[in-house]
Amino acid sequence: MSKSLARVIAALHAGGVDVQPLEMPGETRTAEQAATAAGCVLDQIVKSILFQGSSGRLYLFLTAGGRQVDAAKASALAGEALGRADANTVRAVTGFAIGGVAPVGHLTASPVWMDPTLLAFAQVWAAAGTPRHIFAIAPDRLAALAGAKVSDFTL
């Protein structure tokens, strides 16, 4: 088991969530791939999108699969100008490679916001630290576990 996957499982269990991530036969790097693998609609996929502030700090936006982060709205929430974090920074701060960034189990905590679109579903699916592992969770449990503030930040 990869260190990334083990970290996600440990974070879930520490938060009282008894779920075992599933290994998919194909990659789940994109929301479309994950939705196909999970057999769900695109907006049930939780994309973990990281933005970096002008200060250097990272901010995590848990976004429904079919939506995009609005940089102006995200910047307003963060209180500073934001741009997409590069792959090396994402890996260094979270411990995950892009395409497998989980919403929990990061090496370094970041402020987190959640797209309210996700709350329309009884269950959502998120990356579990690798490009082939995903897990299902109730969106309100995910918000609580990730310490996410539900906010409007999408286009």
Q: Which one of 1.10.10.10, 3.90.960.10, 3.30.460.80, 3.30.360.10 gives the CATH number of domain 3-150?
A: 3.90.960.10
CB 124 within 8 A of CB 45: yes
* Rounded distance between C-alpha atoms, residue 49 and residue 34, angstroms: 15
Q: Evaluate if pTM is beyond 0.95.
A: yes
Q: Give the chain's residues under pLDDT 50.
A: none
Neighbouring C-beta atoms of residue 24, cutoff 10 Å:
17
Give the pLDDT score at 28: 96
SS3 125: strand
Give the pLDDT score at 51: 98
Task: Taking the CA atoms of 101, 107, 113 and 114 in sequence, report the sign of the dihedral they define.
Answer: positive
